[in-house]
Amino acid sequence: MKKLEEQRRLDDDYRERGLSDMMDGVLEVKKDDILKMEIPPPEFVLTKPEVQWSEEEKNVYKEFEKKTKSLSEEKEKYKKLLETEMKKLMASTRDATEKFDETLTKLFEKVKCEMAIYQEELKITYLVYSVLIEEEMRNRELELKLKLEKTLPAGKILESLVVNGCAHNISFMSSKVLDKDFRKEFLDVPAHVVDHLYKLYKRRPRVQKIRTQTDNPNPFKDQSLCGSLAPDALGKMLKAMEELDAPENMPEGLNPSIWERFCLVRRTKVECEQKVKVSALTLAEMQAFLLKRRNENKVAQEEIKNLTDELESLHKEKNRFQKDIMVQVLLKQGQVEVSATDLTADYTDSVLQNRSVVEDLNSTIRVSLYQQTHRCFSCASNA
């Protein structure tokens, strides 16, 4: 119906009909249309044999052949022109492709160089970081060792206190030995005379007693404690003993040589007693000081333990830091399956696996998925 309406419209408009007959409905013939153009043969060629053609029809046919030949030549020329243009375009495309490949190769080389530079910069940064961490650990270790050396002398002071206490106990024991050996010194004297001499041996003059100084924090730092009082007290005691050693105090009938020997023994005993008194006072202060030092030593021992534990922990951390070395591994982007939510990915819990392990796992997953899908389709078809 549309064709009939179009034909009817063309019959009514002779201009459009002429344009359609002569120029295929267009005012300007394009070169591309030459390949589409076809010259229709005359009607008599299809209806009459060649022997029945008239002279006019033969001339028309010759004109037809001439136009056909001319059109074929035009088509051939245009075809060669198109082939030449196609070759030029192909050559231009090839040159552009080669230039693009060269530019892309240079860009890739630049990217590789930058990547190598960044890797070296990362190595240098890590080395600097390692040096700083090692320096910090070394400084911390020296600090802990210095604190430990300052804390250790507390135990040595306690040892000194114990040794001095033992020396004072020895002085006290020596005084008792002198008391027991008194009668052995006078074996050549009658017993009743020895008894009388022993009473005189126990007699002491009255002198001012030595007072202790309990407000001294450290008896080893202040040598004036008891040590400065001892010579004065001993001097007063010996001066008072001179009165007791006078000949008028000698018992009647006693040999003067025995009296002199007795005075010498008693003087030795008095000197020993004075030493014992001074030692007792010193020992009391030493015991108080020892108690204080023991409390301080307890605190020091706890501090030593804490410092030792911290130093040991630091050594372990240092060994781990020296053994746990960072190694840079270059992987393609598709081979890293760690989600990077921040600017830098966290590889703390990551594991470096061989590519074959991942491929085998993916193959197993695909086979399992295929089997499940096939099983579902089988169940659906049976239903």
Q: What is the mean pLDDT of each run of 10 residues along the chain (383 residues)?
A: 56 54 53 66 77 80 84 84 91 94 93 91 89 90 87 60 51 58 68 72 62 46 47 68 72 76 78 78 82 84 87 88 80 76 73 84 90 79 65
pLDDT recorded at residue 104 = 93
pLDDT recorded at residue 35 = 61
pLDDT recorded at residue 21 = 54
pLDDT recorded at residue 370 = 86
Task: Tokens 């490949």: give the residue.
Answer: 101
Give residue limits of the domains in the chain.
38-127, 152-323
pLDDT recorded at residue 211 = 46
pLDDT recorded at residue 162 = 52
pLDDT recorded at residue 212 = 42
Q: State how far the Cα of 197 lies from the Cα of 193, in Å rounded to an integer.
A: 6
pLDDT recorded at residue 117 = 93
Q: State how far the Cα of 197 lies from the Cα of 186, in Å rounded to an integer.
A: 10
SS (H, E, C) the chain: CHHHHHHHHHHHCHHHHHHHHHHCCCCCCCHHHHCCCCCCCCHHHHHCCHHHCCHHHHHHHHHHHHHHHHHHHHHHHHHHHHHHHHHHHHHHHHHHHHHHHHHHHHHHHHHHHHHHHHHHHHHHHHHHHHHHHHHHHHHHHHHHHHHHHHHCHHHHHHHHHHHHHHHHHHHHHHHHHHHHCHHHHCCCCCHHHHHHHHHHHHCCCCCCCCCCCCCCCCCCCCCCCCCCHHHHHHHHHHHHHHHHCCHHHCCCCCCHHHHHHHHHHHHHHHHHHHHHHHHHHHHHHHHHHHHHHHHHHHHHHHHHHHHHHHHHHHHHHHHHHHHCCCCCCCCCHHHCCCCCCCCCCCCCCCCCCCHHHHHHHHHHHHHHHHHHHHHHHHHHHHC
